[in-house]
Amino acid sequence: MAKTTKSRTAPARVNEPISIEPDIKVAPGTMLLKLTGINKSFPGVKALKDVSLEVVAGEVHALIGENGAGKSTLMAVASGALVAEEGTIEIGGETLTPGSPREARRLGLAIVRQDPALLPDLTVAENMAIGAGLTSKGGLKRAPEWAQAHLNPWQMGIDSRARVSDLSVEQRFVVEIAKALALKPRILVLDEPTEHLNKEEVQRLFRIVRTITGGSAAVVYISHRIPEVKEISDRITVLRDGAVRGTFKASEVSESQIIELVIGRALDTVFPPKGKSIQSGADDKLVVSNLSGRGFHDISFSVKPGEVIGIAGVQGNGQAEVIRALAGVEAATGSVTISGKKLRLGSNSAAARAGAVYVPSDRHGEGVFMPLTVGENIVMKTLRAVSTLGIVRDSWVNKVAAAQIDRQSIKTPSTRTPISSLSGGNQQKVVLARTLLSEPEVLLAEEPTQGVDAGARVDIYQIVRGAADNGAAVVILSSDGVELEGLCDRVFIMSRGTIIAELEGKKVTEAEITRAELTSTTERKRNDELRSRSTRFRNWMRGDSSPAAVLGIVVLLIAGLVGATNGAYFSPFSLNSILFTASMFILIGAAQHVVVLGSGFDLSVGPLLSFLVVIASFFVIDGGNIFIGIGLMIVAALAVGFVNGYLTTKFNLNPVVVTLAIALALQGTLFTMRTVPGGIITPAVTDLIFAKIGFFPVITIVAIVIALLLEWGLRRSRFGVELRAVGSRIEAAERQGIKVKKVQLISYVVTAFLVMPTAVILMSQIGIGDGRPGLSFTLTSVTVVVLAGASIFGGRGSFIGIIAAGILVAQILSVPTFLGLSGAWGYWLPGFITVGAAILYAQLRRLRRK
Amino acid sequence: MFAKTRTNAESASAMKMESIWRRVLGGGQAPIWIATVVLFAVSPLVAPGSLKASALLSMLPFAAVLAIAAVGQMLVIQQRGLDLSVPGMMAFGAGLVTGLSQWYGWPVWASIAGAIILPAIAGLISGIIVTRFGVMPLVVTLGMNAILLGTVFALSNGTPAGAPQEIADFTKGSVGIVPNALIIAVVVIVVGGFIAQRSIVGRKLTAVGVSERAASAVGFRVTLYQTMAYALAGAAFGIAAILYAGYVTTPPLFYGDKYLLPTITAVVLGGTALTGGRAALISTGVAALFLTQLGQLLRAVGWQESFQLIAQAVVLLIVILARAIVPMVSSSIKARREATESQTVRA
């Protein structure tokens, strides 16, 4: 498949087989994982009820059940990611302290989640090294080779030096598996591993599973797909509604017996009568043809007024994406027609105007406006109806809301109650009331009864059917087969991004739906174009260092242009002065870059710089004690950095506001210390700083060396990798066991410390204790960081880029002098480059993602 | 059984007490009103004469300027942004209203219109870059700040101009004893407050600020409203700048620097969360009054300008710390009480 890249990216000798078998050898049948009496609840739901499970060496133990049956929750408890209220976990005979993922990993449990915990801005090798705890003692240097050896057996063409964000979904998943296997686990948990893989890759996975279970390890295999489960597993445990329904030998149960156990529930809810008002002769209200987008393709169907359509399928097969595309919240191609009018795709407001109303499944994040009241939430979609001349009438709001509260039997003390204090079911009814008020043409509901109690469910079914009876076309996405059976006139089953079956009339039963879902063997359509066609140049362009080269070219171009207009530009004096200024910009940019890498921000670097200069002007003078002065400067820098970091990380405060406040406090302090400039810096120091080789300032060489050392630390040291991990994806870094707050705190201290050398240079340049010149360095530091191409959201960027950007900014700021431009350019140039570069890089990144 | 009822009664009263102090310290709009009343009450004790009419009348125009600028900042913070271009915007507005008439001979009404509309356009540009191009608000407004300062420099050629006589007379004038500047501020805040709280546009702005995703699911044009917030903020900064220019007659070119932190502090003090959402316009205005009076008081007891900066920074840090700590403490108290309650029940 991807043989072309394999030979180039992998050195020959790492093609030798690598060991993925556990170091501790045990006989088959030895108990490896023992869960006893696990109870776990989430607000409103009991997720696990007294669950016990035993997994022994040498077996593949399948865990099956419907969505929400508790499989993934159980494994999250076993791996220490979640803490159960009751129950014990034993791994390899040792009891696990609840909620300690690191300990679980040490005891030999590795988990591969559906949603890989990878850090997108780091390379594959760095991700694997963090996962395996190999970030110290030169481990990072050897990581690419070591990681490549683990990836090669998969033949997916993954280069261990590539950035994870450049990989396809299935490649990422393989990295996640390889990362788990590299730990040589005694128990490997695979959560829905085949969702992202094609047939050939599934067989490769099965071969690996059989290899490791041939020895001293066990595999826990979570899946919906019963044919695959039958093929690979030795024993099967069925979970339903959070409880174990039995453990069986795979060879002793049939596919249909398993399905029965998985469902095992009678229709016990009251549903409104179906389809009494489908206008069979009427024109289709909603026509979808050849709709394709991220996660789904070639979807075509039509819905009549009064009809309720269900979309079923195992979670993550593109159902949600289809609904969201219809609502215009996500982009798509193809055509959608509502009541005969063609809809502009990818625009939520166009969809809303056409009468398509979307009820999202993420009620907290997308459904309700949490801090607002019940009344405000109810009328949000129909503000026009409760206002005159654009002014909302509160009395009308209350009247309309009260009527809806009454009609949909929403339990709330008043219309002015914050919606956050209502139960999940009542919040959902508010969302539906809002939806119905707008008299939808098309109702798109995603999991409308998720997390809703039984009583509210019945009400919601009535509301949904009522909308259809009023002539709407209704599309419901649900993972509850009972609900689909009871509510829908027709059901489409989706698998791997496309519709694989349609059930109609009497065939709309839970058993049929589940059968279609579970026996599907479709393969995910691959867009082969998207696979990594990595060339050396392409990889380099995608890397962190490419901006440095581009900036270097820009520097030469500007030099040529300005030099052609004014010959004095190339004089040793002017080159020296530009490079001298550049040394400060490199260092202050590097300082800002450290904190930005970890998703922080520091507006206090400029004032801190001034503050340090002013401190120096009292000690680093003729007759003063230079050492005390330097010592005080270091202490002050570290203290400021610590305060910044402590306040932002300890109390979760906005870094911009904290560092801005600190910046102004520093300004106040320094202007109190030196109301007017004073204190001549001793030539003993300034002469040292002004030393040069030819026209090249020594201090610029020092600044470049410092930046290179920082770059080395960023790539090779544990802190560097952890800092980038935190900036890249904070929750994934947390899941990997990185102490996020500590890393961020240290980054603020390092930033402040790096202001110190800049202060020494600046004080030599101005020669006197003056607080003003330093203040503008905050903007300069941001300009340098943005120009260097660092993501301002953290995680990526290089100090090489900082060197180039520092020189470029120094050069640009010198341009007005040489071209005789007005002082305004001193402001315009940094302003325009900062904004321009930020826009440019944001666009490049967007293009790259496509 | 008996034991349990008693615990409930106790915890109910404890809960009530706690919710009161949590409301006072943890957020909302009540604290700033209380703090302002207290500040004015103690003012005569700290600095005799600080409540005299003359002292108040010299303070109120500055409070008005800050209040209007803070409303602009609040619009951006409501959309979970932060506008660091306040210094540039204020300088730009003042540069326009003074420079356009003095150097370019514009009529007074035109230079007033220009000083409102051009900053609004600058805000619009910032908004478009933030929403359409996906650049962090911080970087955009920081860059925009520099661009505006450069423009002010170019416009004035480095020399501050004087405000047209009409504007200076108006801002220094008063209706009865109420300064005109204050009237403008009250009008801006009342009209702004009315639009924010009562109009469809205001409701939609709030909705987008509360939850971009929910607003998008409902079908609102999220980017349009976010962009609008930046443009309106620009207009507010322009109005504030006109008042300032009128009152001080010849504003220094870069006087705007001292307004950056106070606008943010006023918004936070007023009860608008930095995480966006419901805007508290009126209390933002009250917070501006509080901050200006505090500054006046500190000046009266002999603190110099640089001390004032420290005081402002400390006030801001204390407020955001209180907002962060109080909910933390109160939820841990709640958890502890629930734990003891369940123990009592078991016992």
In tens, the pLDDT along A745-799 reads 999 999 999 999 999 999 999 999 998 899 989 989 988 998 887 665 556 778 9
Handedness of CA B266, B269, B275, B276 (dihedral sign): negative
**Tokens at residue B218, please?**
């409902």
pLDDT at A13: 41
Question: Residue A115 contacts by C-beta under 8 Å, 6 or more apart in sequence?
Answer: none
Cβ of B14: how many Cβ atoms within 10 Å? Answer: 13
Domain covering B52-302 assigned CATH 1.10.760 in the classification: no
pLDDT at B71: 94
Half-sphere CA count of A424, side-chain side, radius 13 A = 19
Name the minimum distance, in Å, from the CA of B74 to any CA of chain A: 14
Q: In chain B, which among 138-157 make CB contacts under 8 A with chain A?
A: 138-140, 142-151, 153-154, 157
pLDDT at A271: 80
Cβ–Cβ < 8 Å for A764, A158: no
**Tokens at residue A739, please?**
């102490």
- Compute the distance between CA of residue A475 and CA of residue A488 in angstroms, rounded to an integer: 9
Report CB contact under 8 Å: B147, A782: no
End-to-end CA distance of chain A: 22
Q: pLDDT digits over B211-257, tens only?
A: 999 999 999 999 999 999 999 999 999 999 999 999 998 999 889 88
Of the partner residues A372, A384, A665, the one whose CB lies closest to the CB of residue B310: A665
Helix orientation angle between B30-46 and B281-300, rounded to the nearest 10 degrees: 20
Mutate to test the interface with A, among B306, B308, B328, B329 (most CBs of A within 10 A): B306
Name the minimum distance, in Å, from the CA of A252 to any CA of chain B: 46
Strand pairing report for A308-312 and A473-477: parallel
SS (H, E, C) B214-235: HHHHHCCCHHHHHHHHHHHHHH
- Which stretches in chain A have pLDDT values below 50? 1-16, 266-267, 526-534
Handedness of CA A721, A722, A724, A728 (dihedral sign): positive
Chain B interface includes A392 (CB < 8 A): yes
- Compute the distance between CA of residue A195 and CA of residue B121 in angstroms, rounded to an integer: 50
Domains of chain A, with CATH numbers? 3-19+26-263 (3.40.50.300), 286-518 (3.40.50.300), 568-849 (1.10.3470)
Q: pLDDT digits over A701-760, tens only?
A: 999 999 999 999 998 888 999 999 998 888 888 877 788 999 999 999 999 999 999 999
Report CB contact under 8 Å: A652, B149: no
Strand pairing report for A60-64 and A235-240: parallel
- The H-assigned helical ranges of A520-625 are 536-542, 546-565, 572-597, 605-619
Report CB contact under 8 Å: B309, A667: yes
Mutate to test the interface with B, among A353, A362, A369, A392 (most CBs of B within 10 A): A369
pLDDT at A459: 83
Question: Residue B163 contacts by C-beta under 8 Å, 6 or more apart in sequence?
Answer: B97, B98, B245, B246, B249, B250, B251
In the DSSP assignment, the letter for residue A163 is B
* Interface size, chain A vs chain B, as Cβ–Cβ contacts under 8 Å: 205
Q: pLDDT digits over A229-248, tens only?
A: 888 899 999 988 788 988 99
- Compute the distance between CA of residue B151 and CA of residue B146 in angstroms, rounded to an integer: 9
pLDDT at B8: 43
ipTM score: 0.85
Question: Residue B277 contacts by C-beta under 8 Å, 6 or more apart in sequence?
Answer: A371, B78, B206, B209, B210
pLDDT at B9: 43
> Is the pLDDT at B13 greater than 60, yes or no?
no
Least confident of A173-177, A576-580, B4-8, B269-273: B4-8
pLDDT at A336: 93
Report CB contact under 8 Å: A669, B136: no
Q: In chain B, which among 68-97 make CB contacts under 8 A with chain A?
A: 82
Reference A235, options A52, A50, A63, A51; nearest CA is: A63
Cβ of B133: how many Cβ atoms within 10 Å? Answer: 15
Element (H, E) at B194: helix B180-198
Report CB contact under 8 Å: A365, B143: no
Q: In chain A, which among 644-673 make CB contacts under 8 A with chain B?
A: 647, 651-654, 656-658, 660-662, 664-665, 667-672
Q: In chain A, which among 297-336 make CB contacts under 8 A with chain B?
A: 327-329
Handedness of CA A763, A767, A773, A777 (dihedral sign): negative
Chain B interface includes A792 (CB < 8 A): yes
- pLDDT band of B14, cuts 50, 70, 90: very low
> Is the pLDDT at B97 greater than 90, yes or no?
yes
Per-domain residue ranges of chain B = 52-302, 304-347
pLDDT at B233: 96
pLDDT at B15: 45
Residues of chain A found within 8 Å of residue B214, distances taken between Cβ atoms:
365-369
Of the partner residues B150, B206, B222, the one whose CB lies closest to the CB of residue A828: B150
Higher per-residue pLDDT: A45 or B62: B62
Q: What are phi and psi of A492, to 5 degrees?
A: -100, 140
Find the angle CA(A408)-CA(A409)-CA(A410) to the nearest 5 degrees: 95
